[in-house]
A and B are shown apart, each in its own frame.
Chain A
Amino acid sequence: MTLSNEPPDHKPGVFERPGVIKAIVVALSIVCGLLILAEFFYVKHPHFGFDGWFAFYPAFGFGAYCLIVLGAKALRPLLWRGENYYHEADVDVSDIDPSESSSGSHRRD
């Protein structure tokens, strides 16, 4: 197993170049625009009525995504705890936050 966490070499990869990232975002926006335009060119088969509204799926996709991500973000203060909250981490395992590792040596029982 090769483990090396060296400082990043300063040659940005393809997906780190601002131009490439911008191109991806622009391409996504164009495709989304085309998908809105497509609303005029196909026959809908709504099952319930509301799923036949103009741009129902785009609006639902955007809204549902925001609801879920922001909802989860709002839940974080309630649910978040330190990595060794349950005191089950292994004494010598580096897989938990070093600042907590001291408590890792205390076993609950």
Chain B
Amino acid sequence: MTDWPSDLLGHPLLSPALLMIVGGFVLAASPRQVHGVWLLAIPAAALALLWQLPLGLHGEISLFGFDLTMLRIDGLSRIWATIFLIGSFLSGLYALHVRDRIQHVASLIYAGAAIGAVLAGDLVTLFIFWEGTAISSVFLIWARRTVRAHIVGLRYLVIQVTSGLLLMVGTIIHYRATGSIAFNHLGLETAGGWLIFLAFGIKAAFPLLHNWVQDAYPEATVTGTVVLSIFTTKLAIYSLARGYAGTELLITVGAVMTIFPIFFAVIENDLRRVLAYSLNNQLGFMVVGIGIGTNLAINGAAAHAFAHILYKGLLFMSMGAVLHRVGTVKASELGGLYKSMPWTAAFCIVGSMSISAFPLFSGFVTKSMILTAAAEQHHWIAWTALLLASAGVLDHSGIKVPFFSFFHHDVGWRVKEAPLNMLLAMGAAAFLCIGIGVYPAPLYAILPFAVDYSAYSTAHVINQLQLLLFAALAFVVLFRNGWYPAEIRGLNLDSDWVYRHALPAMAARIHRALVATREHARAKLGRLGSGSYGWLKSHYGSTGALSRTWTTGVMLLWAGVLLALYLVIYY
């Protein structure tokens, strides 16, 4: 690691986030031959810089009359920035073969924006980088260059920018109420606090606000989905941990989040969409941890986010490799790929065992911190929900993803193994998944709070194996009896049905109703008009009674009659 000049450290321009963003723009203008080096060197350099920065607040600048803090280095922000940079390095390695400049540039800028948001010491800086992640990441979806990806990207962008607007309005209200823009504990006591909570909740994929994840991630490019899976949602988890730790509502929200996506994951056919549901379910574990809010629970959320980025990235990488080689990741079209892609299959299984939290894999040493924290605080309902969700994880990510793609029945795909750089990236991620599981001490050492916790007690290892292996036995029983739901083509309705079908249908219906009303009114007016015209014509037309020429005598007679009538009425 190089030694940076100490008087420069803490300068706002010497930020890992800006290094990534500037690196992205430089890559945009650099020849293709250096892209590979750049994709690996920039995250590595940014990681070195991050760990050179001393703990504390740095990089203060004045903007629009506000004192902004670009760099807050503490236990919470540093672990997040670290895993973001590791994730960026691995996804860069995974994407080395890609010749699409836009994807490389977007990946670096997106990662930089996410790191900038994590290191932000105030809400204005957070907002700037928050929107930065939205705008840069959508290019990873559009880079798929299909009509569907274009539509999905627009929808994704609208939702992400909406989250940013809520953050902005919330920040303004919060500032007027408290006079501070510092990004510390916010709480739900003020309206501003609620709006910011909602902004975080959209990006964290809270129940019913979640569907942008499952809508957008499976439509991005092979490498883009890996990148997307790392940053946005985990940035939201970080923000919740910073602003709303100990908020009881989050326990309920998180518990629901762990449960309901697993039902969708079980019947979903697109395996990258299965992983998107699974991602949602894993976020739920972290949200519960934040809601509990004790040191152990926050440590658990941070450690689980760290492990999650690695194993979820690994799983998306393996399915990306399948998509790259086979051209589809639909479970109904796959099977038997272990013959063609044995390394990818092996790495996928490591990812599956990590997310399922088998002992000696990363999920085991991180998820259990959250469950233990829930038990210690006597949240038995949340604890039971997390245990139920753990059995669900075993199904959709532990069994379904590897089983239906690499095993099941051989449908005859004979393809090449994934490219070398993809295998290296998957291998490195798999190595870290096992490394953390076997030797968690280095991870525990960088957690926000001092750790007094060991996952490897006899009871915990046995209980976890009992839970998982009996769930696996249940799979065997269901599958062999033909009770396991078949993998069939199709899609499943989720909350996006509201804005993809119901609202447009309602708008179309209202439009039709308005058009019908207009036509009706026009017809009625037309009839009325022609009726009035006829009446006028009959009276005032050339042959009408009122346009006849009257003699003076008749006029006088009528005037007399009218005057007489007037007299009668008056008396």
Contact = CB atoms under 8 A, between A and B. Distances in A.
Interface string A68-99: 11111101101111110110111101011100
B66 to A, nearest CB: 42
A72 B147 CA distance: 31
Contacts of B500: 86
B327 A3 contact: yes
Interface string B363-394: 00000000000011010100100011001101
B29 interface: no
B380 to A, nearest CB: 5
A19 interface: no
Contact of A61 (B147, B339, B466, B476): B466
Contact of A13 (B338, B457, B467): B338
Interface in A37-78: 38, 42-45, 47-48, 55, 57-62, 64-73, 75-76, 78
B490 A47 contact: no
A49 to B, nearest CB: 9
- Main DSSP-derived SS at the B contact region: helix
B471 A82 contact: no
Interface in B467-484: 467-476, 478, 480, 483-484
A9 B388 CA distance: 41
A83 B152 CA distance: 15
A53 to B, nearest CB: 12
A91 B151 CA distance: 14
A23 interface: no
A26 to B, nearest CB: 11
Nearest to B393: A68
Contacts of B469: 28, 31-32, 35, 61
Given A3-B415, A57-B467, A90-B146, A25 B476 contact: yes
A68 B263 contact: yes
Contacts of B327: 1, 3, 95
B491 interface: yes
Contacts of B476: 25, 28
A66 B462 contact: no
A96 B146 CA distance: 13
Contact of A35 (B339, B462, B480, B492): B462
A73 B485 contact: yes
B478 A66 contact: yes
B407 interface: yes
B537 interface: no
Contacts of B459: 42-45
A24 to B, nearest CB: 9
Nearest to A107: B147
Nearest to A50: B380
Contact of B148 (A4, A66, A89): A89
A103 interface: no
Interface size class of B (residues with CB under 8 A): 35 or more
B402 to A, nearest CB: 11
B273 to A, nearest CB: 12
A35 B466 contact: yes
Interface in B7-31: none
Contacts of A42: 458-459, 462
A89 to B, nearest CB: 6
A86 B473 CA distance: 38
A6 B262 CA distance: 34
Contact of B485 (A12, A38, A76, A96): A76
A5 interface: yes
Contacts of A12: 410
A101 to B, nearest CB: 12
A61 B391 contact: yes
Nearest to A99: B489
B392 A80 contact: no
Given A6-B414, A35-B466, A81-B492, A70 B483 contact: yes
Nearest to B478: A69
Contacts of A36: 466
Central interface residue in A64, A78, A97, by most chain B CB within 10 Å: A64
B517 interface: no
Given A15-B407, A85-B491, A60 B387 contact: yes
15 contacts: A4-B412, A8-B336, A16-B409, A42-B459, A47-B376, A67-B388, A68-B266, A70-B478, A72-B262, A76-B492, A79-B493, A81-B491, A86-B491, A86-B501, A108-B504
Interface of B: 146-148, 151-152, 262-264, 266-267, 324-328, 336, 338-339, 375-376, 378, 380, 383, 387-388, 391-392, 394-395, 407, 409-416, 457-459, 462-476, 478, 480, 483-485, 488-494, 500-501, 504
| Ranked 3 nearest A-B pairs via Cβ | A72-B266, A47-B375, A64-B391
Given A65-B395, A67-B388, A80-B488, 20 more contacts: A16-B410, A31-B469, A35-B466, A57-B464, A58-B470, A60-B387, A61-B391, A61-B469, A64-B392, A66-B478, A68-B263, A69-B474, A75-B263, A76-B267, A81-B490, A82-B490, A83-B491, A88-B147, A89-B148, A108-B504
Interface of A: 1-8, 12-13, 15-16, 25, 28-29, 31-32, 35-36, 38, 42-45, 47-48, 55, 57-62, 64-73, 75-76, 78-83, 85-86, 88-91, 93, 95-97, 108
